[in-house]
Structure 1
Amino acid sequence: MAIVMPQLVIEPMRAEDIPEMMEIERMCFRTPWHENAFYNELTHQPACYLVAKVGGRVVGYAGMWVIMDEAHITTLAVHPHYRRHHIGEKLLLGLLECAIARRARHATLEVRETNIAAQRLYTKYGFYTVAIRKGYYSDTGEDALIMWTPDMQTPQYRQLLRANRWKLLRGERDAREDPPDIP
């Protein structure tokens, strides 16, 4: 039986979103950020943080810093019950559009070498691996792939974002299924 998903809303992070974000942070990361780090990001001028909400509840979030002409994606997480519904992709798209609006030429991030699903998403948005950061993740000693985008200010990159946004919108019209409610 298909259940229609309530409207997904992507909006800027607010202080009142942080307690729900922390629940997701603890579920998704072995070494979660302290909640004060998120409160500090609210006042950090180069920061851009977005939350994804379904039915008014935070189900995902993402953040980045834009310094000079470079955007560094610092975090992206989706509640486990809401994965595989393109929420992470919509958050990533929102960050990249914010970076372009702030005149960033490139975006960069680190991703676990074993996180193949995330790597596929990033590759879809033009990211490519430029280096490996050995032992980057302190919880396991796992290596991180350092990924970058090509120049985001080019017409070709903007076309890539438009094409991916169109595919997301078309997919929403074709099928709307909701995962179970968050317990």
Structure 2
Amino acid sequence: MISLELKLQLLTSKDLSAILELDQACFGGLWTMEGYQRELGSPNSDLIGLFSSISQTKLLGMGCFWSILEEAHITILAVHPQYHRQGLGQALLYSLLQTASDRGLERATLEVRTSNLAAISLYQKFGFKTAGRRRRYYQDNGEDALILWRSDLQQPQFQATLTDWHIKVSQQLSKYSWQLLG
């Protein structure tokens, strides 16, 4: 069986058109080109892309977090709809949490639509707990957001947890012939 190679790497301005294409496919145009340019230029923002040389959609997914004091505030986790339910979201979330831990951040937080059960399930698998609710948070339809929270990114046991996740993520990806490089 042939493995399809996946690579996680920081996004740069040369990736802008692919970023905008993915944003459109996933969110219908959540952020503008200027918004992404600000993210790419900010020292407090990590924007990670998931690439495959095999696919015609080279940028299969992306994740972003802001470093705010000791916290990683995850702002985006997106996988191209064509590649949902293959473990790519897990790979991105793992990478975001690994990067946040490497940066010395202690906690991770995010908002998620209350109706997005697949995303909520993914976040719960990675140890996120519900910390609250933002009423009518989403402007497009007035839907509430759950505030999810994960602490302990600097605790010794978190490194062991990351190792376990890497194994689980790799196993999930291999079911769909994906192989995470590096």
Does the TM-score normalized on the shorter chain lie above 0.5?
A: yes
In structure 1, what is the Cα distance between the partners aligned to 2:24 and 2:173? 29
**Which sits farther off after the overlay, 3-12 or 83-92?**
3-12
Q: CA deviation at 1:150?
A: 2.2
RMSD across aligned positions (CA): 1.7
Q: CA deviation at 1:30?
A: 4.2
1:41-67: per-residue Cα shift (whole Å, max 9, x none)?
111111111001111711111100112
Pairing of 1:1-183 with structure 2 (within 5 A): 4-30=2-28, 32-55=30-53, 57-173=58-174, 175-177=175-177
1:55-88: per-residue Cα shift (whole Å, max 9, x none)?
1711111100112211100111111111111111
Question: Corresponding residue for 1:181?
Answer: none
Q: Gapped runs of 5+ residues in structure 2?
A: none
Residue identity in the other structure for 2:42 = H
Q: Gapped runs of 5+ residues in structure 1?
A: 179-183
TM-score normalised to the size of structure 2?
0.89
Aligned partners of 1:63 and 1:75 also within 8 Å: yes
In structure 2, what is the Cα distance between the partners aligned to 1:172 and 1:70? 28
In structure 2, what is the Cα distance between the partners aligned to 1:39 and 1:167? 33
Identity of aligned residues (%): 35
Q: CA deviation at 1:96?
A: 0.6
Aligned partners of 1:4 and 1:176 also within 8 Å: no
Residue identity in the other structure for 1:145 = L
Aligned residue pair count: 175
